[in-house]
Structure 1
Amino acid sequence: MKKSLVGLGALGLSTLAYANLQTRDFILQEYELPLLAPGVLRGKASFDVLHVSDLHMIPGQRAKVEWVSGLDALEPDLVVNTGDNLSDKAAVPWVLDALGPLLNRPGAFVFGTNDYWAPRPVNPLKYVLDQKREPSYVDLPWKGMRAAFIERGWRDATHQRLEFKAGDVRLALAGVDDPHHELDDYATIAGAPNVDADLSIALLHAPYRRVLDAFEADGYQLALAGHTHGGQIRLPGGRALVTNADIDRERASGLHRYGGMWMEVSQGLGQSKYAPARLFCKPAASLIHVTERT
């Protein structure tokens, strides 16, 4: 019996060590979506959308800074950030270093509650039971971060309808504030995207069905969200145990249909500093190659 307990303890410790190591094993997930009308790209192979989410940055995370800043080599046509950039009040300079070269490219963003309020210790049982946790309401310096994003040229899509051109593609974007703590107000952006747009994209931090349903009903082609961390602690084979939202576990991450709309949920690039573990769920950014319909 004693040997069995020792063996179980050793297995638990090795699993935790492996889960902690996976927090630094960054990957890029790539998808192809034929959404554009023929001729829009004028001979170019694709319009590339880089989706980053859930950095949960902590000072000192140099490997993450280097990996994220290196994504600029992909030369994306549009960068979308769906929030939860911070996990410490001193992390804003580290976020700006990580996103630095990407801020020179066309971009748009919405925030999550972990941009506004500092994280706090998590009861693991609540996470496993998929129970919503009350924010700390300890303010983070998100206003300065937002100002830096805008100064560099990114657009704040929070409760905004945006229309602009990136390369040869006319975009219609709209976003809401974080649905996870009911900060969203879809009525402020309700309505179909401009019919003259080549590509319409919906932005939200957490994939909640009430907001996804509204975007889908209004005719958006693609919704981008984060928040779930892909489940963060998954079973072998990648099956998520929880989503931390009301989206089904089968769509906790990746590219999926959502009615007449496509939805891509990012696994995210970080996690709360009070839950520094990932299991069978590597931190990831996404690159969506939007191509012409045939």
Structure 2
Amino acid sequence: MSSALGRAALTTFGVVGAVGVGTAVWGMGVERYLYTVRHHEVRILPAGSAPLRILHLSDIHMAPWQRRKQRWLAGLADELHPDLVVNTGDNLGHAEGLTGVRAALDPLRGIPGVYVHGSNDHDAPLPRNPLRYFSGPSTSIPRPDRLDVGALDDYLQSTLGWHELNNAAASLAVGGHAIAAFGVSDAHRHWDRLDVLPPLVDDLKAQSPELTIGVSHAPYRRVLDSFTGLGADMIFAGHTHGGQVRMPGFGALVANCDIPLDQARGLSTWTNDGRSVPLNVSAGVGHSIYAPVRFACRPEVSLITLTAVDADSGSGGAR
């Protein structure tokens, strides 16, 4: 009997080991290259408005050798024909990452856009123990290598023509739509200055925009609550990587912030003080060069088509 139990135990350990190896091979060697476009339609524009196509980019974490990712991103302009680009930060993943960012995003030149920073636009990634994420949102590591965020800003603003929304606001005219946009810098590093936004948003509202959007890198509850209270019609965020490693049938195990895990990826609704708005949290395109894995969480961008509410009911929604 003991011999049979021993053989069963060895078989079990062998199966578990094989599954673990297979999972690692899939996550590191296959899935992290399965770039995906997630399509959503949200009915929030005034009745009679023309559709507005928004390309939501996030967490590119670019390193110069990531040519496959660069080529895929570079093809999105011709494939998706966006009217507006919303970039929720962490574009850089290496000291020379801007070279790859240029190759990836140059085809979007001339398409209106807005962006905010993530901490990895300022600081190079460092090795971390991934188990630490299960104890709560990660903390900053002293003396990281600084990245040239000024060069990134110059490229995004001067070359692509995008508006910076780090604790700032901007008005845009996009395909006949008057858009008000506001945002904050990385709330994960407590760089958000929510206190500066109310007068900026009031100035934007005085222009009677057709659409108001809020943009944040990290979807912390304090940010989402504030954006909802300030009158955002839709909110965009990234940072979570969708969990990066998800359990089939369960979802994200961690979000690296305080957003509910079931809202760590994709389109959902955020409600605060009786007001509800659509929220899109992108799982992002990349990963840290020190954690090159995706499992049950493909790298992604979102194409969100905003359409008009039903003229008869005056109601809208997401789908």
Q: Given that residues 165 and 183 in structure 2 are in contact (C-alpha distance below 8 angstroms), is that contact kept between their aligned partners in structure 1? A: yes
Equivalent in 122, 140, 143 of residue 134 of structure 1? 140
**2:157 corresponds to 1:150:** yes
Query: How far apart are residue 237 of structure 1 and its match?
Result: 3.2
**2:97 corresponds to 1:86:** no
Equivalent in 25, 47, 63 of residue 17 of structure 1? 25
CA distance in 2, matches of 1:238, 1:281: 12
**2:259 corresponds to 1:247:** yes
Equivalent in 266, 290, 307 of residue 274 of structure 1? 290
Query: How far apart are residue 14 of structure 1 and its match?
Result: 1.2
Percent identity over paired residues: 37
Q: Give the SS at the match of 2:85.
A: strand
Query: How far apart are residue 108 of structure 1 and its match?
Result: 0.7
Query: How far apart are residue 222 of structure 1 and its match?
Result: 0.5
Q: Given that residues 267 and 281 in structure 1 are in contact (C-alpha distance below 8 angstroms), is that contact kept between their aligned partners in structure 2? A: yes
CA distance in 1, matches of 2:13, 2:96: 41
Query: How far apart are residue 39 of structure 1 and its match?
Result: 2.6
The code of the aligned residue for 2:265 comes to S
Q: Given that residues 110 and 157 in structure 1 are in contact (C-alpha distance below 8 angstroms), is that contact kept between their aligned partners in structure 2? A: yes
**2:309 corresponds to 1:293:** yes
Q: Give the SS at the match of 1:72.
A: helix
Any unmatched runs of 5+ in structure 1?
A: none
Query: How far apart are residue 2 of structure 1 and its match?
Result: 4.2
Equivalent in 161, 169, 172 of residue 164 of structure 1? 172
Q: Give the SS at the match of 1:67.
A: helix
CA distance in 2, matches of 1:250, 1:7: 30
Q: Given that residues 238 and 280 in structure 1 are in contact (C-alpha distance below 8 angstroms), is that contact kept between their aligned partners in structure 2? A: no
The code of the aligned residue for 1:198 comes to E
CA distance in 2, matches of 1:197, 1:131: 36
Q: What RMSD, in angstroms, separates the aligned Cα atoms of the two structures? A: 1.4
Indicate the residue corresponding to 1:28 in structure 2.
37
Q: Give the SS at the match of 1:189.
A: helix
Q: Give the SS at the match of 1:33.
A: strand
Query: How far apart are residue 3 of structure 1 and its match?
Result: 4.5
Indicate the residue corresponding to 1:225 in structure 2.
237
Q: Given that residues 40 and 198 in structure 1 are in contact (C-alpha distance below 8 angstroms), is that contact kept between their aligned partners in structure 2? A: no
Query: How far apart are residue 97 of structure 1 and its match?
Result: 0.8
Query: How far apart are residue 127 of structure 1 and its match?
Result: 1.8
CA distance in 1, matches of 2:88, 2:137: 22
The code of the aligned residue for 1:105 comes to I
Indicate the residue corresponding to 1:180 in structure 2.
188
Indicate the residue corresponding to 1:264 in structure 2.
280
Indicate the residue corresponding to 1:72 in structure 2.
77
Q: Given that residues 137 and 257 in structure 2 are in contact (C-alpha distance below 8 angstroms), is that contact kept between their aligned partners in structure 1? A: no
Query: How far apart are residue 59 of structure 1 and its match?
Result: 1.5
Equivalent in 50, 60, 63 of residue 58 of structure 1? 63
Q: Give the SS at the match of 1:211.
A: helix
Q: Give the SS at the match of 2:287.
A: coil
CA distance in 1, matches of 2:55, 2:249: 25
> Which stretch shifts more, 113-122 or 238-247?
238-247
Indicate the residue corresponding to 1:194 in structure 2.
205
Larger radius of gyration: 2
Encode CA deviations 1:248-267: one digit per residue, 9 max, x unaligned: 00100111111121110001
Query: How far apart are residue 10 of structure 1 and its match?
Result: 2.5
The code of the aligned residue for 1:8 comes to V
